[in-house]
Structure 1
Amino acid sequence: MSRQIFQLKVSLTGVRPSVWRRVLVPGGYTLDRLHRVVQHAMGWRDCHLHAFEIDGVQYGEPDPDAEPAVRDELDTRLDAVAGKGSRFGYVYDFGDWWEHELVVEDVLAADPDERYPSCPQGARACPPEGVGGPAGQLLLLTALADPHHPEHVTMRDWAGPGHDPTAFDAGRATTLLRRFC
């Protein structure tokens, strides 16, 4: 039997214009590895807590003192909790509260000439870490787009000269996925 590859669309919710990635990952990946795929494909730096919610069950790094209990993402395979058409959530940074929707668009046989994971498509740059969630991202985009905005210089300096909200490089994302996932 050939290895199953899940085609997922990962969309950052609550932001406009849309920030999204299409990734191809082995169905046998644990949710811990899927977390790393989302981090590198989206452009996050993995410096905050995260959790998946699939069919009302929370998965992440277990904390024995946490309520409600979180199932260990290291013990859960993607193909055990999702299939074609499944939709589930992923939250990154419990302060800024970046919600992502993951949709299993397709389940395919692995191409023997292809390496996985990969990120063949996507749109727009991920918001910078610490921008303040969707409301902070909106302020950043508004200020950057208007040189007369009272926060233009401050936000441009804070985001850095290399920050281009319209940019996305699928080749770079795929390289990061293959190196770190």
Structure 2
Amino acid sequence: MRYEYDFGDGWLHKIVLEKILPADDALSLPQCIKGKRACPPEDVGGVWGYEDLLEILADKNHEEYKSRLDWLGGEFDPEALDLSDINQQLKSWAKG
């Protein structure tokens, strides 16, 4: 499945349904079992703004480094993925 988030910025996501299991009340659904990289910060400016952000964060001597860290509210690891946090959010959204 393809999912487009934020039509103005055009974030395209590929979501793969790997298996449908029998219902099990012990499982919290929906559930994310795998992913790649951190979610880009909200309002980063689309793919191009995110690329700029990563370039700036890779160079601690860049003139915008400190202001971008301040905007982010601290360090940002683009490789980090917290499945526990993702699944907690999915659980709360599923409850409505």
Same fold judged by TM-score > 0.5?
yes
Unaligned runs of 5+ residues in structure 1 are 1-87
- Structure 1 or 2: more helix by fraction: 2
TM-score using structure 1 length: 0.46
Unaligned runs of 5+ residues in structure 2 are none
- Structure 1 or 2: more strand by fraction: 1
Q: Which residue of 2 aligns with 1:121?
A: 34
How many Å separate the matches in 1 of 2:6 and 2:26? 36
Q: Is residue 41–residue 72 contact of structure 2 (8 Å, CA) maintained in 1?
A: yes
Number of aligned residues: 94
TM-score using structure 2 length: 0.79
Q: Is residue 120–residue 171 contact of structure 1 (8 Å, CA) maintained in 2?
A: no
Superposed, 1:31-180 pairs within 5 Å as 88-180=1-93
Task: Give the secondary structure class of the aligned counterpart of 2:74.
Answer: coil
Q: Is residue 69–residue 75 contact of structure 2 (8 Å, CA) maintained in 1?
A: no
How many Å separate the matches in 1 of 2:87 and 2:46? 25
Counting aligned pairs with the same residue, the percent is: 44
Report Cα offsets for 1:24-59 as digits up to 9, x if no partner: xxxxxxxxxxxxxxxxxxxxxxxxxxxxxxxxxxxx
After superposition, the CA RMSD in angstroms is 1.9
How many Å separate the matches in 1 of 2:33 and 2:15? 16
